[in-house]
Amino acid sequence: MSVVSVWYHLDSDESFISDYIYIDYDAWFYFSLDQSEFEFPVGDYVVELYVDDYLEETVEFTIY
């Protein structure tokens, strides 16, 4: 099974898609992000989770 997440940063002048991030599907709903570790810019994000190239889940959140 191929699982990737695609990140969209909504607060930049041009929205961008980050590199694909491979994650454990079972851990998706317990997902947390430490900004200091990953250095993502603050702002609003949408993350799309694809399983075997099909959109499985969409999550919106804000990093402060």
pLDDT at 19: 52
Phi, psi (rounded to 5 degrees) for 41: -65, 155
- Which tokens is 59 given? 């999550």
Average pLDDT, the chain: 68
Share above pLDDT 70 across residues of the chain, in percent, rounded to a whole number: 52
Q: 12-41: per-residue pLDDT in tens?
A: 765 555 555 555 555 544 455 544 555 667
In the predicted model, is pLDDT for residue 47 greater than 50? yes
Map out the domains of the chain as residue ranges. Answer: 3-63
Averaged pLDDT, 39-56: 81
